[in-house]
Amino acid sequence: MKQDIPLIALLDELELQMHSLGCWQSEAPSAEALASTEPFAIDTLEPQQWLQWIFLPKIRAMINAQQSVPSGFSMVGYFEQSWQQQAQYAALLTVIRRIDQEVA
């Protein structure tokens, strides 16, 4: 669990940034939307929905259960592409990039 402290801090920072940008939602998408098998649930969720409703809960659950968090994944490319015309997400991209580096 101690080795996950930097990652936990980054997950908290990601959530905080999402709140400050106003993209944190109070209601979950439908069960069908959350059940997507596509990468990043690209067919049913907006990028920020995937972060809030899939990524954050799964990684936090793994940490809380003292399971190994996957390593070597990279998310920033997808989010850079998704938000390329939305400068307001620059700080969020920075946090995502740092998460990628932490799990490299």
Please tell me the predicted confidence (pLDDT) of residue 2: 54
Claim: this prediction has a pTM higher than 0.95: no
Q: How confident is the model at residue 4 (pLDDT cuts 50, 70, 90)?
A: confident
Instruction: For residue 68, give every residue at least 6 positions away whose Cβ sits within 8 Å of its Cβ, in sequence order, or none.
Output: 62
Q: Distance between CA atoms of 3 and 9, rounded to whole angstroms?
A: 11
Residues 9-62 pLDDT 10s: 999 999 999 999 999 999 999 999 999 999 999 999 999 999 999 999 999 999
Residues in the chain: 104
pLDDT at 101 over 70: yes
Query: Which residue segments constitute the domains of the chain, with CATH numbers given?
Result: 2-24+39-103 (1.20.1440.40)
Please tell me the predicted confidence (pLDDT) of residue 65: 95
Q: How confident is the model at residue 3 (pLDDT cuts 50, 70, 90)?
A: low
Of all residues in the chain, what percent are helix, strand and coil, respectively (each to 5)?
65, 0, 35
Q: What is the CA radius of gyration of the chain?
A: 13
Q: Distance between CA atoms of 17 and 20, rounded to whole angstroms?
A: 5
Q: How confident is the model at residue 69 (pLDDT cuts 50, 70, 90)?
A: very high
CB atoms within 10 A of CB 81: 9
Instruction: For residue 77, give every residue at least 6 positions away whose Cβ sits within 8 Å of its Cβ, in sequence order, or none.
Output: none
Please tell me the predicted confidence (pLDDT) of residue 27: 97
Please tell me the predicted confidence (pLDDT) of residue 5: 86
Q: What stretch of H or E contains 93?
A: helix 90-103
